[in-house]
Chain A
Amino acid sequence: MFGYVQPQKSELLVREFEEYRGIYCALCRRLGKDYGFPARFFLNYDSTFFVVLLLSLSGECPRFAKGRCVVNPLKRCVFCEGSDQELGIAAALTVILSYYKLKDNISDSAMRKRLAYFLLLPIVSHARRHAAERYPELDKSAGRMMKRQTEIEHSEFFGIDRCAEPTADMVADILEMPVQEIFGRGSPEDRVSRQFGYYLGRWIYLIDAADDLEDDIRSGSFNPFRIKFSLNSKSTPEDIQNARGYAREVLNATMARMTAAANLIDFQNCLGGIVQNVIFKGLPEMQKDRLHEKERRNVRPL
């Protein structure tokens, strides 16, 4: 579920790359400050994108300062300064989502892995408890997502749209809170970001499912594409290929709606370029990598 929302590095300006790095490092620092050193390991690109997006809407361009990396003190880096609110909410989000992801892993994995995850649990739940105190709505919407997802996985299969909806709604909710705070409920920005969030969440769910398809076939875990195409360990590579081709179509359709919403976002500052890079280049690139490059790596030439 993590790591799919990234910029396409080669297409970023050098300035934008440094700003992105600066925000990434600042979020890492904030995680450490708010939730203790181990929380830094939950740092991910998706939460970084969340900060960039919020900052790109909020008007002022953040300031950047030079510093040293805490994890690797030999490395000099740039930190984004200020932006307390955005970093705070993103740090909480990181911790909360990591917690739910871990819970999900524990219920899904085989015995040996499950034990390893179990040992991690106390650290994560401690951090999550703090985060949930600060941002109860975030925790509530993530918890609701997990509950709905579990229900869907344990009931009859009603199609891919339904499977993707809990994640889609969750991302829409997460974006809604800070955007409503800035622009007000029912404002054009609120409506656009809700739509954008919905399709971004849907895209994340779908690419995660498409990416895990082979593993899920092997382990028999829940995967909407596996069920839709009735794939099992005896399925031929062509069957899997078919399912992937279908996944590509679903992802493209989702991207079309997402970019339509993104085109209506009014960016207020220098960070808009990074957001646009992620949406218009990073996500398609990720799709290409996970569905096509991987395909090429796994399929032997005829």
Chain B
Amino acid sequence: MSDPYRVLGVSPNATDADVKAAYHKLAKKYHPDNYADSPLADLASEKMKEINEAYDEIVKQRKGRTSSPPYGSYGTGSYSTGTGNSDYMDVRELIMQGRIVDAEQILDGVPSDRRNAEWYFLKGNILYRRGWLEEAFADFTRACQMDPTNAEYRAAYTQATNQRRGMYGGYGPSPRQTGWCDGCDVCTTLCAANLCCDCFSGISPCC
């Protein structure tokens, strides 16, 4: 096994808190949620496993005993694992196997008056994998409208919405740690917030 400290990117002299912080940061980066429906999910989960093992190893070395990482469940599962009673078991199976073209062919064969919430969810799923993010988002939205109680559809919709808001990169109103908007002055920050929220009607920009 490679050096666990190198995997986490910390020095062997780092404090326990530093190790934990580095672990948390990496675990967040490679969290399965970030790779849900991505063709790269397997690579991310390998990375996640590596990080979990490295953290385990360090904890073991330091305390002389085994302890499971705080995110023990990381690295497995995502919301697309399927539900019990599905109308499209075959399509889900094909998607899991990465046979996207075949899956889409079956979906497209369904006449438009028989397309239910799950149909839109799965279609969105396929489009999302292909990188057609706008149409995928429209389909997730539609699936949620048709079946507002379904947690699986809701999760896909929420994830896409968060991505659009800039929580995972890009530029958006929610502040992140890096210094793109660390409030050089209150005025600019307010202005930026104002512009981002499209809330011109309320407060007038001060600069």
Instruction: Please report A residues at the B interface, Cβ cutoff 8 Å.
Output: 11, 159-162, 165, 168, 188, 191-192, 195, 198-199, 202, 241, 245, 248-261, 263-264, 280-281, 283-285, 287-288, 291-292, 295-296, 301-302
Contact = CB atoms under 8 A, between A and B. Distances in A.
Given A257-B133, A285-B180, A292 B195 contact: yes
Interface-centre pick from A198, A254, A281, A291 (highest chain B CB count, 10 A): A254
Contacts of A283: 170
B43 A253 contact: no
B168 A256 contact: yes
B171 A252 contact: yes
A258 B134 CA distance: 15
A255 B47 contact: no
Given A281-B178, A284-B180, A302-B204, A264 B40 contact: yes
Given A253-B134, A263-B30, A264-B43, 7 more contacts: A195-B40, A199-B131, A250-B164, A252-B168, A255-B168, A292-B171, A292-B195
Contacts of A295: 195
Interface of B: 29-30, 34-35, 38-40, 43-44, 47, 127, 131-135, 137, 160, 163-172, 178-180, 191-192, 195-196, 198, 200, 204-205
A245 B168 CA distance: 17
Given A195-B38, A195-B39, A250-B164, A159 B135 contact: yes
Contact of A257 (B38, B178, B196, B205): B38
A252 B38 contact: no
A252 B29 CA distance: 17
Given A11-B179, A284-B169, A191 B133 contact: no
Contacts of A291: 171
A253 B178 contact: no
9 nearest CB pairs, A to B: A252-B170, A256-B168, A255-B170, A255-B169, A161-B132, A256-B163, A249-B164, A259-B169, A252-B166
B131 A280 contact: no
A281 to B, nearest CB: 7
A228 to B, nearest CB: 9
Nearest to B181: A288
18 contacts: A161-B131, A250-B133, A250-B164, A252-B168, A252-B169, A254-B133, A255-B170, A256-B163, A257-B131, A257-B163, A261-B38, A263-B44, A264-B44, A281-B180, A283-B170, A285-B171, A292-B195, A295-B195
